[in-house]
Structure 1
Amino acid sequence: MFIAIQPQQVAALARQSHLPIMAGLALRFAVIVTTWDQRRRTRKHLRNLPLHLLDDIGLDYPAALAEMSKPFWRA
């Protein structure tokens, strides 16, 4: 069974000062990759939402289109 760790949890671990340098670097890398993956998945789901659901989440089509067109590494 796979248990997902949320990006916030990984970031909290990465801020621990008692970690060895390599462990801290690995955790920071994990935070970046996890954040990028979350953005990619969110934008992919946004692309598939019907217009009436965009209204439900408070986005108009131009704002959703602007968000969908961003690359995963851009916030």
Structure 2
Amino acid sequence: MELALSLPRRRRPWSGLVRALTLHRSRRGLAALDDHMLRDIGLTRAEAEAEAERPLWDAPGHWQAR
């Protein structure tokens, strides 16, 4: 019989940087969408710009829980 061990997942030292860069890229992409595309996802230009201007450390809560 083989036992499966559940070891805690180690956090890679660069994972925070990768998440920050991904967030930055996503926000930059959101700001680049035209008004028609923003309407398709249910956002106004003002909401998209407000999201794009948020500071890098202001990440969604589920990103910080990792």
> Which range, TM-score by smaller chain?
0.5 to 0.7
- Aligned-pair identity (%): 30
Greater than 3 Å deviation, 4+ residue runs: none
Gaps of 5+ in 1: 1-15
Greater per-residue helix proportion: 1
State the alpha-carbon separation in 2 of the partners of residues 31 and 41 from structure 1: 15
Distance in 1 (alpha carbons) for counterparts of 2:14 and 2:35 = 34
Higher relative contact order (CA 8 A, sep 6+): 2
Residues 1:63 and 2:38 aligned together: no
Task: In structure 2, give the amino acid aligned to 1:40.
Answer: H
Instruction: Give per-residue Cα distances to partners, 1:29-73, cap 9 Å, x unaligned.
Output: 322111101111011111211011001111112211110101222
**What is the distance in 2 between the residues matched to 1:40 and 1:74?**
11
TM-score, with structure 2 as normaliser: 0.66
Q: Determine which structure has more spread, i.e. the larger CA radius of gyration.
A: 2
**Residue-pair matches, total:** 53
| TM-score between both structures, scaled by the size of structure 1 | 0.59
